[in-house]
Amino acid sequence: MSLELQVYAAGREEPTLEQVAKLLALSGWRSVVVAAEGAPRRASGLGGCRALGWDPADGVGAAVQSAVAAGSAAALAELADSLSEVAVEVTAPCPIDGDALGELREEGHAPALVARIERATVRYRFSTEEPATEEAVEFLWALASAVGVLTDGVLEDLEDGTLLDCTEVGDED
């Protein structure tokens, strides 16, 4: 079982890894995105990757970067206690199930948000395995929120059914 968040976006243009890293840094995270399969190597995009995040105060950044540069799974495994890992899948086009849309409407979500999900052309799925540490959950939310903000998306918490409009993040200040 895993904890999952999804972001639905209308535009097909995927945010760059640099844009995502900058937003994560603003929320107190450092990160690297690696290919999901094989030896750890930098990914070129979000689809089918693993995002690794850490608190800069932990002082593991140089070791993580060295492990990835060397393609060393063993070196990354040694740092596992200091890293939060999130799997990312990107689906485009993303067919939206009519029953799922009906459930969202029945649950009383804002019609405008449900309509945006219905029009979405891309779905980003973020997951972390349970039992998840508090840090892993925080990184999951930070990563999904960053992508949501960069894509003007709608974020869905699959566990509790919450929908968040990522175009309004920070507007309450």
Distance CA 115, CA 54 (A): 35
Task: Determine, yes or no, domain membership for 143.
Answer: yes
Domain that holds residue 109: 2-168
Task: Determine, yes or no, domain membership for 117.
Answer: yes
Task: Determine, yes or no, domain membership for 173.
Answer: no
Cβ neighbours for 65, distance < 8 A, ≥ 6 positions apart = 32
pTM: 0.92
Q: What is the pLDDT along the chain (173 residues), one digit of tens a residue?
A: 579 999 999 988 899 999 999 999 999 999 999 998 878 899 999 988 999 999 999 999 999 999 999 999 999 999 999 999 999 999 999 888 888 888 888 998 999 999 999 999 999 999 998 888 899 999 999 999 999 999 999 999 988 889 999 987 654 44
Cα distance from N-terminal residue to C-terminal residue, the chain: 36
Task: Determine, yes or no, domain membership for 29.
Answer: yes
Give the type of residue at 75. Answer: A
Counted domains in the chain: 1
Task: Determine, yes or no, domain membership for 15.
Answer: yes
Task: Determine, yes or no, domain membership for 164.
Answer: yes
Task: Determine, yes or no, domain membership for 58.
Answer: yes
